[in-house]
Every structure is written in structure tokens, then in C-alpha cells.
């Protein structure tokens, strides 16, 4: 009755407008990159199917509290989604959802391997033959007609299907429970590299680096992740508390995938074959192991008064992984030495995570607000550490006490703990201006439990501490001007243990004889430090200005500058990033608005590294890192540098019109263009001979990696009558990508030890025209 009394105009405001849309998309060209995420990767016609329907007595304006909705979007595409909800507001709610997506798509990948996308066994045709000898002379892979004939294009990609269910129930105004379940299922495959045995047989020992050969493979993504959230919330007058359980369980349909190696015969000698059929070595890649994560969380807050509040939380999680190890020699490539017995058949991995945070906020006076916070995050990896013997890909292993070609390493269960203390004060200078001063002290500790000697430690930087001090100023004027500016200085200190013999550096380590001092400092050049752990000073400057010039015109300008400077003599020396953004919005009338933006960003990173430690220096050094450092004295003849520059620009213009053509046409236009360039350049300052035009092995600039993306979207609707509309859409998108990445995989230019795939950079020019019929009702 309430609804019946309403005018049409009032009903339009108070009751939801439902819609059902059906139509056709026409895609001009097949393009994997254009279709990634959008579902428009194939040319031709696609069904448009969208709907959004809502109802329930809560819309009637009376005492009803029930609302429901069902919706679907892009139903004809691989980017489809759908959902439904029903709720009795204030009492309970239930929702379900489904969402689909295709990604990691390639439609240019070619391979001689046979097997289905998403499968885990790949074989070569019996007549393919072997790729053959691997000379050192400049050459590319030469493939005869038989081999080339075996290459075929495969549509590789991963499909992700996300199904969700959520529900909530209010026991009373203070107590409620929430439940959420989400299943993420992936199928298909994702391309990955693999190093396999080259012409030399590792079991024979004495391989060289050049024994490795590269194939690009379809790594199956037969994954399922089930996430559960269950939370109980209590809310009182002064306090509130949430206790929750989170579970995430990952399972993989495959524990491995295998493929035949075209570089090596299964027989002792790679003799010509085809007739009789070729036999190949089969090689194995492990896949991501099943793992579980269970976490208990408690968070809450308490208001001591209207001006003093405390909030925080704690959590405890257990992440386990106990998938059975792949035992060596399942395939014809030796992986685990026959005489070596694995110390355990699975990792029995356990990582315990702990978190705690607490923040006290206090409005000390009308103008002064203070806060103090503390955070702790710990990843305590309690997985056992053991010694493992294995055959490296190239058979270039330790030679001290084990048969030639066998490597030894111990696994490092990395643990870390991060604590953070934050103190901040906000002071209002007057009604329009305020200042904020913030100080943060952060400390990170790193260790490994149960390490096996001689690995004295698993990390070169067992701890970092950082102090950050920031000052910001904020202004809001009555006439619509807003201005923010802030400066933050951060100083990070690294505590080094250069004498640490780290496990992954143990390429040539043998458990019975560590070679000191060259195995210290993670086997890195003396004076080198990884930038993510190195001592560093950082300057961060940010500013933003907004100006509402008139009732119709808004302008804004923001900028950011970051300068990082690292202490180590070798490693990343510094990096700088500058960014500027300009925005303007003009609302010409109630039914017409325009906006435009421009963004510009430039980054640069300078790296300095050492080529190698002179043999005599290493041999003459004492038994410590310090002795090595003194002995080498950072030989300038070995120093090289590299710069990374990254420039990005983006511009966009958007217009929105309603009420055109006597109120029947709505039209949104969106034009954007982005241009990104990334470049690398390397210099050998002191060894120019290696940079001669005929021997450019080590220096020079790489061709810029460029991508330019132009997008034009015109989306509109024409009102046919009171309840029906004609939907119209036009999308033009052009990507021009130049990337040297693909050179290595092209026929005719793939280096000797890389099996080509002929993948292309993904450039495209695609047009989409969409026409649909939209029916609306209440």
C-alpha cells in the first residue's frame, strides 16, 4: 500500500531498478594479451549477458527487513561472474558468489612437446631427434625440417574459478557471528623455464656450465585453495572484541611433471635416430606441494574515555607442509646419488606465525592527538634442517670427499621476527592547519633453527634496525584549497655476519670441507651487500595540492620523491623515484562532466658489482672475511656497474553525458594512453677491451623495453521507451610492445642452448563493438 501511493518519481528513488541485458560483442582480432582478464581473447561474436535483480519487503517502506538480490555479469565470456544474496537486515544474511578468469594466456607459444595443457606428462615425437652438439662458437639453434615440423602452437593459459559462500547471524545487538568460505580452483598451465642436461652426462662427472639447456614448459596449475573465515564479534558500549579462525588449505593435483629432453639421448650416445625411434631422457620438475595454514585471531578495542582508546590484536598460526619428496632417479636423469639415503621422506615442515599489535590513541587537548603503537610479527620456521646430496643439473659438484659431480647442501628453514614501535603526535595549529610528527623504530631479526655445521649461520645480515622520522603539514582553506606536504627520513642499519657460510651459496661446498674464506659472505664479492638488507638512508618527500577553483572546476597536483642511498661499497648504490600527477575535473552541468589526468614517473637504480675475486687473493687470504677483504682490496679491475631506468607516463580524458537527444541518450567516453620505458645499461669502467664492438659480451645498453597502450571506450545507452534501452559500446585498444625478452625464444635467434618457442611480445590492435537490449523494471 505504501508503494502504491508513491508517485512514479518517488518510486524511482525508493525502489531499486532491476535490469536484464542481452546482446552481442563482436571482437575484431584474436589476441591473448587483450583477452587476458577480459575474456575477449578470441575473435568473433560473444554473448553479452548481464542481469541485476533486487527485491524484498524492506523496499516497501514498511516494517519489512528482507532484501535479496541476484546478479550476473559477462555471462558469455570466460570472465563471467554471478552472485546472490538474501538477508533479513539486523538478523541474518547469506550470500553466494562465482567468478571466473583466464590469465597467463599465450596464443603464440610453440613447442615440439606433446601433451595436453594442464597435464603433467610431455613427450617428444619419436622422430624428433636430438638437438645435438653445443659448440662455443657464435651460433643459434639449428633445427632441421623434421624438428621444425614437430613444433605446434598451443593455447596456454590458466583458468581461475572462484566460488564463495558467506553468512552472518546476529544473536543480539551485541553478539554476531560471520562465516566465509572461498574456493579458488585453477586449471590449465603457466609457462616456466627449465634447465636440463645438455650433451654431457652428469653421472659421468665433470660437466660444465654450458652443459645446461633451456626448455620452456607448460607447468600445470592444477590447484585448489580452500579458505575459511569464522568470526565471533562482541560489541559493547565501551569495548569490542572479535575472535576468529582462518584456515587456508592448498592442494595440487600433481606432485610433479615430466618431459622428454631433446638435448640428450636416453642412451649413452646421442646417435642419429628417428628410424629406429629416438629414446630421450625423461626429466622431472617438482610442483608446489600441498600445504595448510590455520590461524587463530583475537582483536578488539576499548574506549577508556571519548578521548583515550586502545585497540589491538594477537594471532597464532601454524603453516604445515608434509608432501612426500620425489625420490631421485624416478626418471632417467640422475637427481639423487644412488648411495645417498634421504634423511627423511617428506619435509614435515612447520612454520609458526605470531602476531601482536597494540595502539593507544589519546586526544590530549582539543588540538593535540597522540598515539603510540607496537607491532610484532614472527615467522618461526621449525622445519628440520638436514644435509642433502644431489646431482646438479650440470654435474659440476664438489670434489672433496664425494664422487665427482655430486653436490651437498643443507636446507635453511628461514625464520624472522619484526618488531615495530610507533609514536605520533598530531597538532592542530588552527582550524585549517595541522602538523603531524611521527617516529617509527623497526627491528628485524633473522635466524634458522637446527642448522647443520659447517653452515655457521644461514644469513649474512642477521638483523636490521631502522629509525624513521616524519613531519607532515596539512592545510584546508575555506575557499576549497587543500595542501599536504610531508618529509620522512629513514636510516636503516644492518648488522652483518660476513663470515656466515650460507646454505644456498654452497654450490661447491662439501660438508666435510668448507673452503674459507671464499665461501663466506654468501660467496658474494668482498664488500657486496644485498640491497634489501643493506644499511640505507632514505629521504621521502610528498606533496599534494587540491583546489576547487569554482563550483564546477576541481584541480589537483600531487608529487612524490624518494631517494635511497645504500652504504655497501658493492651492491645497489642508490635509487631515486620521482612522480607527478595532475588531475582536473569540470562539471559543466548536472548532466555533463569531464575529467582529465596526467601521471609521470621516473625511477633510476644504480648498481655496482665485482666480477670475481682474483684467485691469488683468495688463496693468500686468511681464514676470515676480513682477511679476504684486505687481500682483495676491492680490485678496481673487477668492478662493473649497471643502471636501471624506468619511465612511465599516463594520460586520460573522460566524459560523462546524460540526457542527450531529448533525454534519451547516455554516453560515457574514456580515452587513455600510457607509455612505459625500461632500460638497462652496463659499464665495465676499467676493462674496456671487453666492450669492443666485436666482443660485446659484458657491457652496453639493452634495447628499451617499451609498451604503449591506447584505449578508447565509448559506452552508451539509448532509451527506447520507459523500460527498454539499447546498449551500445565501442572499444578500441592498441598495445605496441617492444621487448627484447622474446628475442631469445625466436626461431633463428634463439641461442644454442635454448629451445625456441617463437613467442611474440603480445602487441595487438583490437576493436570491440557491442550491441545489447536492456530491459529495466521495478
Partner 1 sequence: DEARAPAASVGAATAKATPAPAAAGKEAICTKCHDENEPTPLLSFYQTKHGVKGDPRTPTCQTCHGESEKHLKGDPNIKGRPATDVVYKKGAFAASDDKVRAGQCLTCHKGTNRTRWEGGQHDANGVACNDCHKVHQPADKVLSKKAQTEVCFTCHKEQRAQSHKISTHPIDAGKVVCSDCHNPHGSAGPKLLKKATVTETCFTCHAEKRGPFLWEHQPVTEDCANCHTPHGSNISPLLKSRAPFLCQECHDGPHNSKTPYGALSGGFQAVPPGSLAVPNENAAGRGCINCHSMVHGSNHPAGALLHR
List of residues 6+ apart from 239 with CB closer than 8 A? 300, 301, 302, 303
The single residue among 293, 447, 455, 496 that binds partner 1, judged by CB under 8 A, is 293
The CA distances from residue 589 to 54, 444, 550, 596, 662, in Å, are 31, 55, 13, 17, 15
Q: Which residues of 47-75 are buried (b: 16+ CB within 10 A; e: fewer)?
A: ebbbbbbbbbebbbbeeeeebebbbbbbb
List of residues 6+ apart from 288 with CB closer than 8 A? 223, 250, 252
Within 124-143, the residues that bind partner 1 by CB under 8 A are: 136-140
CB of 605 to partner 1, least distance (A): 7
Closest CA to 381 of 465, 308, 317: 317
The single residue among 43, 279, 465, 548 that binds partner 1, judged by CB under 8 A, is 548
- List, as one string, the DSSP characters of 7-67: -HHHHHHHSPPEEEEEEEEEE-S--HHHHTTTS--S-EEEEEEEEEEEE-GGGGTSS--EE
The CA distances from residue 714 to 23, 606, 672, 709, in Å, are 16, 43, 12, 17
Torsion region of 92: left, alpha or beta (phi above 0 gives left; psi -120 to 50 gives alpha):
beta
Map residues 261-280 to x or -, x wherever contact with partner 1 holds by CB under 8 A. --------------------
Within 592-611, the residues that bind partner 1 by CB under 8 A are: 597, 599, 601, 605, 607, 609-611
The three-state secondary structure class of 744 is helix
Q: Which of 103, 664 has the CB closer to partner 1?
A: 103
Q: Which of 642, 767 has the CB closer to partner 1?
A: 642
- Verify binding: residue 235, partner 1, rule CB under 8 A: yes
Stretch that binds partner 1, among 618-626, 655-663, 724-732, 740-748 (CB under 8 A): 740-748
Map residues 692-711 to x or -, x wherever contact with partner 1 holds by CB under 8 A. -xxxxxxxxxxx-x-x-x--
The single residue among 316, 388, 483, 773 that binds partner 1, judged by CB under 8 A, is 388
The CA distances from residue 142 to 498, 743, 744, in Å, are 46, 15, 14
Q: Which of 266, 559 has the CB closer to partner 1?
A: 559
CB of 474 to partner 1, least distance (A): 6
Q: Which of 95, 669 has the CB closer to partner 1?
A: 95
Within 631-670, the residues that bind partner 1 by CB under 8 A are: 640, 642, 644, 646, 648-650
The single residue among 83, 119, 206, 266 that binds partner 1, judged by CB under 8 A, is 83
Map residues 431-450 to x or -, x wherever contact with partner 1 holds by CB under 8 A. ---x-x-------x-x----
Q: Which of 64, 126 has the CB closer to partner 1?
A: 64
CB of 621 to partner 1, least distance (A): 15
Contact 308, 362 (CB under 8 A): yes
Number of residues that bind partner 1 (CB under 8 A): 229
Stretch that binds partner 1, among 269-277, 292-300, 723-731, 765-773 (CB under 8 A): 292-300
**Spatial separation of the C-alpha atoms in residues 614 and 247, rounded to whole Å:** 52
The CA distances from residue 263 to 130, 217, 358, in Å, are 6, 14, 58
Q: Which of 126, 716 has the CB closer to partner 1?
A: 716
List of residues 6+ apart from 492 with CB closer than 8 A? 464, 465, 466, 534, 535, 536, 537, 538
Q: Which residues pair with 424 in a beta bridge?
A: 371, 438
Within 187-216, the residues that bind partner 1 by CB under 8 A are: 192-195, 209-210, 212-214
The single residue among 5, 7, 275, 305 that binds partner 1, judged by CB under 8 A, is 7
CB of 726 to partner 1, least distance (A): 21
- Verify binding: residue 728, partner 1, rule CB under 8 A: no
- Verify binding: residue 286, partner 1, rule CB under 8 A: yes
- Verify binding: residue 220, partner 1, rule CB under 8 A: no
Contact 517, 642 (CB under 8 A): no
Within 478-507, the residues that bind partner 1 by CB under 8 A are: 478, 480, 484, 503-507
Map residues 299-338 to x or -, x wherever contact with partner 1 holds by CB under 8 A. xxx-------x-xxx-x---x-x-x-xxxx------xx--
CB of 110 to partner 1, least distance (A): 15
List of residues 6+ apart from 552 with CB closer than 8 A? 586, 587, 588
DSSP state of 545: E
Within 84-113, the residues that bind partner 1 by CB under 8 A are: 87, 89-95, 97, 99, 101, 103
Within 390-419, the residues that bind partner 1 by CB under 8 A are: 390-393, 407, 409, 411-414, 416
Contact 570, 528 (CB under 8 A): yes
Q: Which residues pair with 94 in a beta bridge?
A: 86, 167
Q: Which of 271, 435 has the CB closer to partner 1?
A: 435
CB of 473 to partner 1, least distance (A): 12
CB of 528 to partner 1, least distance (A): 4
CB of 153 to partner 1, least distance (A): 19
Q: Which of 127, 642 has the CB closer to partner 1?
A: 642
Q: Which residues of 313-336 are buried (b: 16+ CB within 10 A; e: fewer)?
A: bebebebbbbbeebebeebbbbbb
Amino acid at each position: 500500500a505504501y508503494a502504491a501511493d508513491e508517485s512514479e518519481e518517488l518510486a524511482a528513488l525508493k525502489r531499486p531498478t532491476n535490469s536484464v541485458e542481452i546482446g552481442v560483442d563482436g571482437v575484431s582480432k584474436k589476441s591473448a594479451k587483450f583477452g587476458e582478464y577480459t575474456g575477449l581473447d578470441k575473435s568473433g561474436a560473444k554473448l553479452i549477458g548481464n542481469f541485476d535483480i533486487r527485491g524484498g519487503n524492506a523496499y516497501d517502506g514498511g516494517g519489512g527487513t528482507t532484501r535479496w538480490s541476484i546478479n550476473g555479469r559477462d555471462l558469455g565470456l570466460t570472465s563471467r561472474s554471478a552472485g546472490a544474496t538474501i538477508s533479513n537486515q539486523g538478523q541474518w544474511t547469506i550470500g553466494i558468489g562465482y567468478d571466473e578468469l583466464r590469465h597467463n594466456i599465450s596464443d603464440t607459444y610453440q613447442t615440439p612437446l606433446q601433451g595436453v595443457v594442464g597435464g603433467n606428462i610431455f613427450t617428444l615425437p619419436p622422430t624428433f631427434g636430438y638437438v645435438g652438439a653445443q659448440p662455443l662458437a657464435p651460433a643459434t639453434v639449428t633445427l632441421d625440417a623434421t624438428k621444425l615440423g614437430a613444433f605446434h602452437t598451443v593455447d596456454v593459459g590458466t583458468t581461475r574459478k572462484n566460488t564463495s559462500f558467506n553468512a552472518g547471524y546476529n544473536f543480539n545487538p551485541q553478539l554476531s557471528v560471520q562465516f566465509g568460505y572461498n574456493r579458488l580452483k585453477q586449471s590449465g598451465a603457466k609457462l616456466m623455464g627449465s634447465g636440463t642436461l645438455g650433451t654431457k652426462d652428469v653421472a659421468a662427472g665433470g660437466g660444465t656450465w654450458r652443459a645446461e639447456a633451456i626448455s620452456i614448459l607448460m607447468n600445470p596449475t592444477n590447484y585448489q585453495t580452500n579458505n575459511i573465515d569464522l568470526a565471533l564479534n562482541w560489541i559493547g558500549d565501551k569495548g569490542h572484541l572479535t575472535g576468529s579462525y582462518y584456515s587456508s588449505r592448498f592442494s595440487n593435483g600433481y606432485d610433479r611433471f615430466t618431459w622428454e629432453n631433446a638435448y640428450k639421448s636416453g642412451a649413452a650416445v646421442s646417435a642419429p635416430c628417428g628410424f629406429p625411434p629416438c629414446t630421450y631422457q625423461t626429466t622431472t620438475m617438482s610442483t608446489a606441494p600441498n600445504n595448510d595454514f590455520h590461524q587463530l585471531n583475537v582483536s578488539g578495542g576499548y574506549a577508556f574515555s571519548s578521548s583515550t582508546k586502545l585497540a589491538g590484536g594477537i594471532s597464532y598460526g601454524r603453516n604445515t607442509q608434509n608432501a612426500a619428496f620425489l625420490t631421485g632417479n624416478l626418471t632417467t636423469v640422475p637427481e639423487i646419488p644412488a648411495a645417498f639415503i634421504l634423511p627423511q621422506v617428506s619435509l614435515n615442515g612447520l612454520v609458526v606465525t605470531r602476531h601482536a599489535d597494540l595502539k593507544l590513541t589519546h586526544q590530549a587537548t582539543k588540538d593535540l592527538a597522540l598515539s603510540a603503537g607496537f607491532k610484532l610479527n614472527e615467522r618461526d620456521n621449525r622445519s628440520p634442517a638436514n644435509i642433502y646430496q644431489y646431482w646438479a643439473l650440470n654435474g659440476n659438484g664438489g670434489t672433496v670427499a664425494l664422487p665427482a659431480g655430486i653436490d651437498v647442501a643443507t636446507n635453511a628453514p628461514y625464520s624472522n621476527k619484526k618488531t615495530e614501535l610507533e609514536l605520533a603526535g598530531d597538532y592542530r595549529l588552527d582550524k585549517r592547519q595541522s602538523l603531524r610528527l611521527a617516529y617509527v623504530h623497526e627491528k628485524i631479526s633473522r635466524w634458522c633453527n637446527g642448522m647443520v655445521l659447517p653452515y655457521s649461520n644461514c644469513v649474512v645480515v642477521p638483523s636490521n634496525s631502522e629509525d624513521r622520522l616524519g613531519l607532515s603539514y596539512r592545510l584546508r582553506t575555506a575557499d576549497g584549497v587543500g595542501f599536504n606536504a610531508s618529509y620522512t627520513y629513514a636510516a636503516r642499519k644492518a648488522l652483518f655476519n660476513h663470515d656466515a657460510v650460507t646454505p644456498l651459496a654452497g654450490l661447491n661446498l662439501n660438508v666435510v670441507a668448507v673452503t674459507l674464506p671464499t665461501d663466506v659472505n654468501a660467496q658474494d664479492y668482498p664488500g657486496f651487500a644485498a640491497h634489501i638488507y643493506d644499511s640505507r638512508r632514505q629521504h621521502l618527500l610528498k606533496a599534494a595540492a587540491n583546489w576547487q577553483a569554482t563550483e564546477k572546476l576541481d584541480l589537483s597536483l600531487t608529487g612524490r620523491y624518494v631517494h635511497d642511498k645504500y652504504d655497501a661499497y658493492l651492491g645497489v648504490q642508490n635509487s631515486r623515484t620521482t612522480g607527478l600527477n595532475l588531475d582536473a575535473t569540470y562539471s559543466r552541468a548536472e548532466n555533463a562532466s569531464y575529467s582529465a589526468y596526467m601521471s609521470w614517473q621516473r625511477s633510476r637504480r644504480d648498481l655496482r658489482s665485482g666480477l670475481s675475486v682474483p684467485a691469488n687473493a683468495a688463496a693468500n687470504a686468511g681464514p676470515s672475511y676480513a682477511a679476504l677483504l684486505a687481500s682483495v682490496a676491492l680490485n678496481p679491475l673487477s668492478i662493473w656497474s649497471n643502471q636501471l631506468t624506468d619511465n612511465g607516463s599516463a594520460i586520460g580524458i573522460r566524459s560523462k553525458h546524460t540526457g542527450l537527444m531529448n533525454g534519451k541518450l547516455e554516453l560515457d567516453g574514456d580515452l587513455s594512453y600510457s607509455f612505459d620505458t625500461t632500460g638497462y645499461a652496463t659499464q665495465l669502467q676499467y676493462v674496456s677491451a671487453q666492450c669492443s664492438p666485436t666482443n660485446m659480451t659484458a657491457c652496453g645498453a639493452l634495447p628499451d623495453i617499451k609498451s604503449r597502450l591506447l584505449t578508447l571506450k565509448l559506452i552508451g545507452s539509448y532509451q527506447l521507451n520507459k523500460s527498454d534501452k539499447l546498449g551500445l559500446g565501442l572499444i578500441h585498444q592498441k598495445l605496441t610492445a617492444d621487448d627484447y625478452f622474446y628475442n631469445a625464444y625466436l626461431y633463428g635467434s634463439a641461442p644454442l642452448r635454448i629451445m625456441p618457442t617463437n613467442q611474440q611480445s603480445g602487441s595487438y590492435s583490437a576493436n570491440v563493438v557491442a550491441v545489447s537490449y536492456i530491459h529495466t523494471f521495478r
